[in-house]
């Protein structure tokens, strides 16, 4: 079953304390070379039936109204075939 992925990230001009905390922790753990970290959210939506353009338009609406705060966050919507191949139950 295909999954639709919604990625929600803080806008570039918005402070991201979680990302800054990760950025500060990396050198203390011995990881160098990372100059910036932004932390956002990832939603994987399983939809009934085929992923049509209409379904994607509805997911866009969901992302704008429920999954993100458009004042401070940007979102992207895409179909992830790789996710679709992941077994839902590990045996």
Q: Is 72 in the site for a second copy (CB under 8 A)?
A: no
Q: Is 14 in the site for a second copy (CB under 8 A)?
A: no
- Cβ atoms of 14 and 78 within 8 Å: the answer is no
Q: Rounded to 5 degrees, what are φ and ψ at 70?
A: -60, -15
Choosing from 48, 53, 71, 85, the residue that interacts with a second copy (CB under 8 A) is 48
- The number of beta carbons lying within 10 Å of the beta carbon of residue 54 is 9
Structure tokens of 88? Answer: 């839902």
Choosing from 15, 65, 71, 85, the residue that interacts with a second copy (CB under 8 A) is 65
Alpha-carbon distance 19 to 22, whole Å? 5
Q: Is 53 in the site for a second copy (CB under 8 A)?
A: no
Structure tokens of 30? Answer: 């011995």
Q: Is 84 in the site for a second copy (CB under 8 A)?
A: no
Contact residues: a second copy, CB under 8 A = 1, 7-9, 11-13, 19, 22, 25-26, 29, 31, 33-49, 55, 58, 61-62, 65-67, 86-90
């Amino acid at each position: 079953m295909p999954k639709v992925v919604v990625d929600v990230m803080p806008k570039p001009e918005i402070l991201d304390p979680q990302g800054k905390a990760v950025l500060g922790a990396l050198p203390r753990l011995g990881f160098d070379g990372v100059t910036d970290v932004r932390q956002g959210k990832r939603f994987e939506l399983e939809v009934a039936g085929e992923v049509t353009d209409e379904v994607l338009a509805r997911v866009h609406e969901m992302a704008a109204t429920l999954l993100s705060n458009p004042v401070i966050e940007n979102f992207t919507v895409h179909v992830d075939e790789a996710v679709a191949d992941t077994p839902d139950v590990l045996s």
